[in-house]
Amino acid sequence: MVDAQGYKTDAAPEGWPFGMEPPAAPAPPEDLSSLMPLDYLLQVMRNPEEDKARRMTAATIAAPYVHPKKGEVSKKAEAADAAKAAAGSSKYATRRGPQLAAAGGKRVP
């Protein structure tokens, strides 16, 4: 009525108090062929039924692809910022024109 692993067999009568119920058959695997790796990692990370360590690992791997590092700037943007800083700090830099306003503080068209 109970097999070597302690599970109830099919021959056990209904309501047999000894042994454990056999585990349910595993679900068939999902079709993941159209899923991108990042999508799969995000799916694992957001699944509350997954193990916490597995969810944390998925989040750690996916984070650089979703959130860039703070302060990470491309070389082109760095060069543009350097050019702006150099142009604005010399005595030959272009300056803003005068603000035109009437005596009462109203704008002049």
Q: Kindly state the average pLDDT of the residues 12-23.
A: 79
Average pLDDT over residues 25-44: 82
Quote the CA–CA distance of 42 and 96 in Å, as a whole number.
49
Please give the mean pLDDT across all residues of the chain: 80
Burial class (CB in 10 A: 0-12, 13-18, 19+), 41: buried
Which residue pairs from 78-84 have beta carbons closer than 8 angstroms and sit at least 24 positions apart in sequence? none
pLDDT value at residue 65: 85
pLDDT tens digits along 74-91: 788 888 888 887 776 666
Q: Name residues whose C-beta falls within 8 Å of residue 65's C-beta, 6 or more positions apart in sequence.
A: 38
- Write the pLDDT tens digit of every residue in 46-79: 999 999 999 999 999 999 888 877 777 778 888 8
